[in-house]
Structure formats: structure tokens, C-alpha cells
């Protein structure tokens, strides 16, 4: 079997006396979507930050298999290496699209910047690729020169997706990508994400409090409470036959809503 793309062992992070993440381990394989779910304060966003190396752990290791199959400890990467990884092989789709976009830059410029990070230099080719990706995420290519400030929340989120996926990353982190959007906008965005993830064969770690999002997008699921993983397994298995009382409570609260 192919070795994991991303491996974490014994990750821990404390904020004062509170354990935001306690002894969490996981393996993620190419093409696999892992959902991390739990209530607010469960530690899921902290874990995402640790995996993406945006937060330094108090203990534990994170290893990543690069395109040349070399497995490296991400905590030993230099800042320049880490930033290059985030601009090329990884993507990060944030809950607030304004944090994942360069708001003073045009829509096409947001997509083009990522292409330039992987060596693209021909203006015409960059612009044509940006137009293609705007169309793929259901944004009118005629708006390529428009500022993201003029876009709706759903359009900004789709632009953020285009910006992240244009470099054909292997791993994408998603932090509540549909939170705060209208229900109809959420549905379209989820359908778009599911289609692109399947087409590109992406590995994804998605944090969400919405179990419906987890069911729609993920293959496996981890349930967190108080900084610890209390249940993990295939998504349908966890949601249809949860073992832990906390998971049962989460599922029943959704069904009762």
C-alpha cells in the first residue's frame, strides 16, 4: 500500500491550563478526504493549524511525503520552504475568504499569483489559465479584472478555491468553507467542492461543525471533544452507527433540528 501523504503523531497544544489538542495521531492518503468535526472549542481548528504548520505544537510530529517521495518532518522546514509548500503543493481554503485572498488585487491577479509561484511567467498564458479557472468555479470570466471587494460572499469563496487549486496541489486544508453563507449558496459551493476534489484527486482535511457537510464530502471522520479524538472511522459508519455517547448526541441533535 502507498505510504501516507501526511502523518501526524502525538500532536499536543496547550493554551495555559487548557488542552486545545491532546495526543492526536492520524494518517492521510492521497485522494482521501478527512473531516474533523466537533462543537466550538473542541480543538478541531487547533488541530488543522498544527497539521498546516501554522501553529507550533508543544509535542508531536507532522511528516509529509513530497512529490519525489521523500518524507520530511515539517517542523524542521525553514520558513522559506514552508511558504513555498503552502503556495504550491498545498492549499488552504479559509472560512473568511478575505483572509485567503489578496483583497486589493483583481480576481485574475489572485489566481495568477499562485501560478507565478510555480514559475509561470507568460502573461497571456497566466491570464488564459485564470479565465479558465474562474469559469470552473462558476465566476464569469468577464470579471477577471474586478476586485474581490465587489464579489458576494459565495463568489469570494469560489475565487479562493480557484486561487488554491490552480497550482494542482496534492493537499488542501479547509476551515469551515461554507460557514456563514446562505443555504442555497452553501449547496452550490459544496457541490462545486465535491466535483473538483474528485476530478483532481485531492487529499483534503476539512474542519466543520456541520455533519451534513462531513457526510457529503468526506471518506473518513474524526470526532473531537476537549482537544481529544474520541471517535474515528468511515464517515457513513460513524454517522449511522456512532459508538461514543458524545457522537450520538451530535448526530441526534442534527436529526432533531
pLDDT tens for 69-83 read 999 999 999 999 998
Of 5, 12, 3, the residue nearest 85 (C-alpha) = 5
Residue 210 binned pLDDT confidence (cut-offs 50, 70, 90):
very high
Above 60 in pLDDT, residue 111?
yes
Q: By the 8 A CB rule, do 217 and 193 touch?
A: yes
pLDDT tens for 183-200 read 889 999 999 999 999 999
Mean pLDDT of 205-231: 95
pLDDT tens for 130-157 read 999 999 999 999 999 999 999 999 999 9
| pTM for the full predicted model | 0.95
pLDDT value at position 255? 54
Cα torsion 201, 84, 56, 45 to 10°: value is -40
What the chain holds in terms of domains, given with CATH numbers, is 80-218 (3.40.50.300)
Residue 120 binned pLDDT confidence (cut-offs 50, 70, 90):
confident
Amino acid at each position: 500500500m502507498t505510504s501516507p501523504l501526511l502523518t501526524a503523531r502525538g500532536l499536543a497544544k496547550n493554551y495555559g491550563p487548557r488542552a486545545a489538542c491532546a495526543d492526536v495521531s492520524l494518517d492521510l492518503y492521497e485522494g482521501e478526504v478527512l473531516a474533523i468535526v466537533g462543537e466550538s472549542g473542541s480543538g478541531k481548528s487547533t488541530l488543522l493549524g498544527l497539521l498546516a504548520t501554522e501553529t507550533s505544537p508543544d509535542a508531536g510530529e507532522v511528516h509529509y511525503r513530497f512529490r519525489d517521495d521523500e518524507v520530511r518532518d515539517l517542523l524542521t522546514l525553514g520558513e522559506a520552504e514552508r511558504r513555498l509548500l503552502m503556495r504550491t503543493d498545498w492549499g488552504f481554503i479559509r472560512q473568511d475568504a478575505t483572509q485567503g485572498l489578496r483583497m486589493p488585487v483583481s480576481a485574475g491577479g489572485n489566481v495568477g499569483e499562485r501560478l507565478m509561484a510555480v514559475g509561470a511567467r507568460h502573461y497571456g498564458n497566466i491570464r488564459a489559465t485564470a479565465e479558465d479557472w474562474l469559469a470552473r468555479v462558476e465566476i464569469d470570466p468577464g470579471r477577471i479584472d474586478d476586485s474581490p471587494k465587489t464579489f458576494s460572499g459565495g463568489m469570494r469563496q469560489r475565487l479562493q478555491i480557484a486561487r488554491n487549486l490552480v497550482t494542482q496541489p496534492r493537499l488542501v486544508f479547509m476551515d469551515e468553507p461554507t460557514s456563514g453563507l446562505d443555504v442555497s449558496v452553501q449547496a452550490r459551493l459544496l457541490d462545486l467542492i465535491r466535483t473538483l476534489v474528485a476530478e483532481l484527486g485531492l487529499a483534503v482535511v476539512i474542519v466543520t461543525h456541520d455533519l451534513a457537510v462531513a457526510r457529503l464530502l468526506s471518506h473518513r471522520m474524526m470526532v473531537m471533544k476537549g482537544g481529544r479524538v474520541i471517535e474515528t472511522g468511515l464517515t457513513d459508519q460513524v454517522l449511522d452507527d456512532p459508538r461514543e455517547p458524545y457522537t450520538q448526541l451530535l448526530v441526534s441533535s442534527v436529526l432533531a433540528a
